[in-house]
Chain A
Amino acid sequence: MIADIILIIAGALFVGVYVSWRAGRIDRLHARVDMARVALDVTLLRRGSLALELATSGLLDPATSLLLASAVHGTRDGSGPRDLAESDLTRALRAAFSQPGFRSSLSGTKGADELIAEVEAASHQVFLARKFYNDLAGATRDARRRPLARTLRLAGRAKAPEFFEMDDSLLVVEGEPSLGSLPG
């Protein structure tokens, strides 16, 4: 009799501890996903401001400058979805950087190599930050989808994190037209 009661209490205790551990885990995942999102925002802003610096540096021809500046503007004016605007900036950067002889035409100009390297580094950071964020977002969504988490609503009122998909590679994609075919 007493043994049974002890067993039931122990069982209830165990379930309680387990549920609260699960809830704590989901909470920690949400907190981490929020941090990753902030990091992603920072890298995107950094990339944008460096691209704008390049556009206004006077290092490039006015057409490329205008193209880059307009793409940066698009990421900030809130007129369209953020992921599409950021992808457009990637494409504008890619179009600018993939011109044949782009680097050799700039090297030797004061500060040009450094600025180009900074834009490239910032773009790579966007790639990393987005990868980490999506990784955490995926783990969080998985944890929320478990039956126990769903039945007991362990996630509370926190919204499920959305994946952030965008084109973030500065490498020219196969089949994408580039200036490479320019004759003469």
Chain B
Amino acid sequence: MKIGMVCPYSWDVPGGVQQHIRDLAEALIDEGHEVSVISPADDDTPLPPYVVGAGRAVPVPYNGSVARLSFGFLSASRVWRWVRDGGFDVLHVHEPEIPSLSLLACWVATGPIVATVHTAIPRSRVLLVTYPVVRTGMEKIMGRIAVSEAARTTLVEHIGGDAVVIPNGVATHRYRKAEPLPGWPGPGGAIGFLGRLDEPRKGLAVLLKAFEILGPERPGLRLLIAGPSGDAAEVLQRVPAALRDRVVLLGQVSEEDKVRVLHSVDVFCSPNTGGESFGIVTAEAMAAGLPIVASDIEAFRQVLRGGEAGALFATGDAADLARVAGGLLDDAPRRAELSAAALAEVARYDWSVVARDVLQVYETVVLGSTQVAVAADPRGWPA
């Protein structure tokens, strides 16, 4: 199948939507499909062979923050040419409600169009006011995908229409192998944590409390923490002085370093107290083959198969976390067992599986439809 995919945000800026498109495109290419992605990008950004640059995105205020978007007739005519020359069987736009390339693509193209909604913004009066202009494009969408139940709900309630939910995949092969950080995990063992330090629901406080129990019993045990924001000094203040040199804070790490962090610890801890719908970080740690200790919130119980693919502890209970994590640290065969179970379990969430679901959506919308083509604009635009 020949697929044209449209990314609304600059390719050179890291972001969830861009990563989603990259992983989906690569999974589809692996399956033998032809994929072309058009995306805003700086001229000197090295792009993968399947990405076509649509010029630089412009930082503009939108929805209360500054976003880097591509708009205007020059961008539109680039998309127009890309659609005209692409000969696509299906056009897949992402975030069509953002004033950028995806919306432009809907405008200039006809034929089978699929749209993925990542973050559904409640429809405001703005969209209503510009409705005649925006509607022309939106009405051409033949199938919608939402990446989460929450995104789907917002879509149904505020924008109208419905969507099938296909969650984000995990690019498991990216996590499979990596060089541990120098000196890690060390002879005394190490526990890892990834996530925002200042977001209480990520549960770092529970892990630090548990380390107060585990640390004195196990003189070599260390804690490796990576995540954006938060005041590192403030986090260390919460650890008893005697244990402080055994808590290592890395701050925000790159995508590659994140994988190295995962391979630098013996046990990965997901102490979240709630607010997770899937637990992508936990799934990534599973893809690295790590034994997991996670709180028994619904999301983790599901991804860890009720404790078969990772150990669960009572949510928010530091003493229970210390007991479970300590047990795992002492039991190498059990760790190997959980690691194998995690790897087997996370394969269900791999992009190759997710891509097959997306492909079924494509196959449904192309039924009885012609190829993607450029629309004849009543104003004779673009020239």
Contact = CB atoms under 8 A, between A and B. Distances in A.
**A and B physically associate:** yes
A50 interface: no
Interface in B90-111: 99-101, 103-104, 106-107
B58 A69 contact: no
B60 A91 contact: yes
Contacts of B62: 67, 70-71
A66 B124 contact: no
Interface string A86-103: 001001100110011110
Q: Which of B63, B71, B136, B137 has the most CB of A within 10 A?
A: B71
Given A181-B56, A183-B43, A62 B133 contact: yes
B76 interface: yes
Contacts of B69: 63, 67
Interface residues of B, number: 39
Contacts of A79: 64
A95 B130 contact: no
A55 B125 CA distance: 13
A105 B73 contact: yes
B152 to A, nearest CB: 22
Contact of B127 (A66, A182, A184): A66
Given A62-B134, A179-B74, A183-B55, A56 B60 contact: no
Which residue among A66, A74, A80 has the maximum number of chain B CB atoms within 10 Å of its CB? A66
A182 B106 CA distance: 21
Nearest to B74: A182
A72 B128 CA distance: 13
Contact of B130 (A56, A88, A99): A56
A22 interface: no
A65 B130 contact: yes
A109 interface: yes
Most buried by A among B56, B59, B62, B130: B130
Interface in B133-188: 133-134, 136-137
Contacts of A99: 72-74
Given A66-B127, A66-B133, A67-B71, A177 B99 contact: no
Interface string B39-50: 000010000000
Interface in A96-120: 96, 99-102, 105, 109
A101 to B, nearest CB: 7
B15 interface: no
B132 A61 contact: no
Interface string B119-133: 000001111011011
Given A58-B133, A61-B71, A179-B56, A66 B61 contact: no
Given A60-B73, A64-B71, 13 more contacts: A62-B107, A62-B133, A63-B70, A63-B71, A67-B62, A69-B126, A70-B63, A92-B61, A95-B58, A101-B74, A179-B56, A179-B58, A182-B56
19 contacts: A55-B130, A55-B133, A56-B132, A58-B133, A60-B133, A61-B107, A63-B72, A64-B71, A66-B127, A69-B126, A70-B124, A71-B62, A73-B129, A91-B60, A91-B61, A95-B71, A179-B56, A181-B56, A184-B78
Which 10 A-B residue pairings sit nearest by Cβ, starting from the closest? A63-B71, A88-B61, A182-B55, A66-B99, A63-B99, A99-B72, A73-B126, A67-B99, A69-B130, A65-B133
Interface of A: 52, 55-56, 58, 60-67, 69-74, 79-80, 88, 91-92, 95-96, 99-102, 105, 109, 177-179, 181-184
Interface of B: 43, 53, 55-56, 58-64, 69-76, 78, 99-101, 103-104, 106-107, 124-127, 129-130, 132-134, 136-137, 379
